[in-house]
Amino acid sequence: MNYFDLLFSPKGTIKPQPFAIIVIAIYAVNILAGSVLDGGAIKRVGMWPYLGLQIALTWIWFVAHAKRLRDAGRGYVVAATIAFIYAASIVLMINLVAASTAPVTDTADPKEPSVSLIGTIFAVLFINTLFTGDIFLISLLLFLFIGLPLLFSLIAVIYSIVTATRPSLTPETPAVPAVAAPPAERPKSPFS
């Protein structure tokens, strides 16, 4: 099986060890990609490279899980659902980053600090919380933009661990083919 089929084709099966390597690589690339996701990078290259990488990583994640589940004799509907939910959490996170880099007003002077949209929303909600004592709105916003994507990521990691530990139903292929023993000689019959 070539690398393209291994990473992009949901047909076939995969054993636990290659599955674990692929999934760990996916999570490592995802963490690295998320670490460069800040306002400066978004302003320079835009959201499209990050979004394209996330789509590719989500598809490879789904393909690896579908193959591993097929190898374990299970269906892949749950993996497809988790991939969809993870993609939705990526959209939430991209909205958070885009809102944190979107200026509220245009400033002609580049030395003058610009105020971001998400910063303005949090400031208004914080002031509302100080005067009313009600923390529901700011808690809801924090949960929607930060807690929900982290929760979906945690669910995906736990599901990957569970999927990797499922026993394989396909037989192991031996490294060296077994050599058949020659047929035993028939004993001579005293009647022949």
Gap between the Cα atoms of 24 and 157, Å rounded: 10
179 within a domain of the structure (yes/no): no
Q: Which of 30-34, 41-45, 80-84 has the lowest mean pLDDT?
A: 41-45
Q: Record the pTM.
A: 0.73
1 within domain boundaries = no
Answer whether residue 173 is part of any domain. no
Confidence band for 120, pLDDT divided at 50, 70 and 90: confident
What average pLDDT score do residues 7-26 get? Answer: 92
pLDDT value, residue 178: 54
What domain range includes position 83? 7-164
What was the pLDDT predicted at 181?
59
Residue 179 has pLDDT above 70, yes or no: no
C-alpha span between 37 and 160 (Å, rounded)? 24
Query: In this structure, is residue 188 part of a structural domain?
Result: no
Is 72 part of a structural domain of the chain? yes
User: pLDDT-based confidence at 33, cuts 50/70/90?
Assistant: confident
Domains in the chain, number: 1
Predicted local confidence at residue 77, as pLDDT:
93
- More confident of the two residues 99 and 44: 44
How many of the other CB atoms lie within 10 Å of CB of 105? 8
Does the residue 189 lie in any domain? no
User: For the stretch 25-62, what's the b/e string if a residue is b when 16 or more beta carbons lie within 10 angstroms of its beta carbon?
Assistant: ebbeebeeebeeeeeebbeeeebeebeeebeebbebbb
The pLDDT of residue 111 is 66
Instruction: State percent of the chain over pLDDT 90.
Output: 30
Q: In whole angstroms, what is the distance from residue 29 CA to residue 58 CA?
A: 11
In a domain, residue 174? The reply is no
